[in-house]
Amino acid sequence: MSIPTGYDGFDDSLGRAVMLTATERMTQALEILHRFNQLSWEDIDDLITVGVWQEDRAKQFFAMAHKARDSGAKAPSAIVNFEVELRMAIANSFHAVDHAGGISGLGSMVFIPDRGPRSFRIYNPTILTANFHEGNFGRIGGLPGKGKTNTGCVILEQWHKEGNVAIANIAKKGDDPRYIFARSAKEFFIAIANLEEKLRWLFVLDEAGLMYSKPDQATRRVKDLDKLMRVIRKLHGSIILIEQRPESVPNIIQEFASSIFYCEKPGTVSIELKGPSLAFRDRVKDFPKTSLPFDTYDIAYWNIDVDINKLFSVMSGSDDPKKTIREYFEQEQAPTQAYLEKTCKRAGCGKSLVGLHPAAKYCSQGCRQMDYELRRRMGIPVSNNPPAVEDKKESLDEFLQ
């Protein structure tokens, strides 16, 4: 089919759009004609109305159909040569619209009326997770309050039903074992490090724009997260990002995401799947509400409290990356744990020294003096001028710095 005249100077994409629309409408017409023997009189009236452009031919077809119906014919297929004549008339109409009606004419040839989105109930819910194996990405968009977090939770529910591990930074209302709540990067890494090797995991990052968005692309935080996305497959997992504005989604996620969900309003979701296992596109209504007890008003900030470059450095070359992650955090935690567990040196006291200088041995000047006198009477060598550092206060954060 040639590109309609009158569009000279327009972008080539318009010509392609016309060709695609014509292909779609002709395909619809053929689908109806293939079941000609099952068409009702009402179906034939609609087919003539939208498919036969020549006025005189349309009048002939209407007259033939009405005459046959009035004479007692049970279906249009009873009219001799009616299907062949109708096929020829529709084919000629496409040629006519090519030269006269253009894209607006094609728009009027509605062989299959749009009755709105189909119900999600007709689909197997496994389509939601079909493309998440290892190293796959998805994104969920939509305006505030349109059901983005609910969509993410429904996907997590389905993922868990299939025997996999669901993780999210979506706060829970109460305890629910169906997904792991990871409020920070550290909790996320610890969660996947403690999983059995055979288990696949899917992480839903809600409100991703708060810490991972295109406008912040130049920051170290976003660059570190880009590095994390590149190695997700090697950690045996997949990730879904929830972000309100599609243009704020980082470039790497726009390139990697093969499962895209757009929430138009609660219960209405546009789904676009690009593989690797399932290619699918539809706009559905009756999208279910999740049964996961999530807090819709939680800010869902995901704190990047891990030196990702350092962590990846120690993981590189490891035969057991999960074991390496566990050991890394145990070593990172050791100074803090020792500080939190330190107690007064004087026998029988045992009071915590948290809040005092890391070099402090006693909880107070009194305990220090009592222990000093006891050691002196027992003949244990003691300093004549013990350092008086116990009174210096220092917070845990100051100590860790």
Q: Clarify whether residues 185 and 332 are in a common domain.
A: no
| CATH number of the CATH domain containing 206 | 3.40.50.300
Minimum mean pLDDT range among 14-23, 194-203, 227-236: 14-23
Q: Which residue has the tokens 């609660």?
A: 266
**8 A C-beta contact, residue 277 and residue 162:** no
Per-residue confidence band for 30, with pLDDT thresholds at 50, 70 and 90: confident
Q: Clarify whether residues 204 and 134 are in a common domain.
A: yes
155 within domain boundaries: yes
**8 A C-beta contact, residue 203 and residue 240:** yes
Q: Clarify whether residues 319 and 275 are in a common domain.
A: no
Phi, psi of 207 (to 5 degrees): 50, 50
**Residue where a domain stops, chosen among 271, 306, 341:** 306
Q: Does residue 1 carry a pLDDT above 80?
A: no
Q: Clarify whether residues 175 and 60 are in a common domain.
A: no
The candidate with the shortest Cα–Cα distance to 68, out of 39, 90, 109, is 39
Q: Clarify whether residues 67 and 164 are in a common domain.
A: no
Q: Clarify whether residues 269 and 230 are in a common domain.
A: yes
203 within domain boundaries: yes
Domain coverage including residue 41: 12-108
- DSSP structure string for 35-100: TGGG--HHHHHHHHHHH---HHHHHHHHHHHHHHHHTT-SSGGGSTTHHHHHHHHHHHHHHHIIII
**Residue where a domain stops, chosen among 275, 306, 337:** 306
Per-residue confidence band for 268, with pLDDT thresholds at 50, 70 and 90: very high
**8 A C-beta contact, residue 94 and residue 53:** no
Tell me the per-residue pLDDT of 154-172, one tens digit each, with 9 for 90 and over: 999 999 999 999 999 999 9
Q: Which residue has the higher pLDDT, 386 or 196?
A: 196
Omega cis (within 30) before 276: yes
Q: Clarify whether residues 332 and 357 are in a common domain.
A: yes
Q: What is the domain count for the chain?
A: 3
349 within domain boundaries: yes
**Residue where a domain stops, chosen among 306, 340, 367:** 306
The candidate with the shortest Cα–Cα distance to 158, out of 261, 283, 249, 254, is 261
Q: Clarify whether residues 289 and 197 are in a common domain.
A: yes
Q: Clarify whether residues 188 and 328 are in a common domain.
A: no
Q: Clarify whether residues 125 and 269 are in a common domain.
A: yes
Single pTM value for the model: 0.63
4 within domain boundaries: no
Q: Clarify whether residues 179 and 216 are in a common domain.
A: yes
Q: Is 96 exposed, middle or buried (0-12, 13-18, 19+ CB in 10 A)?
A: middle
Q: Clarify whether residues 215 and 300 are in a common domain.
A: yes
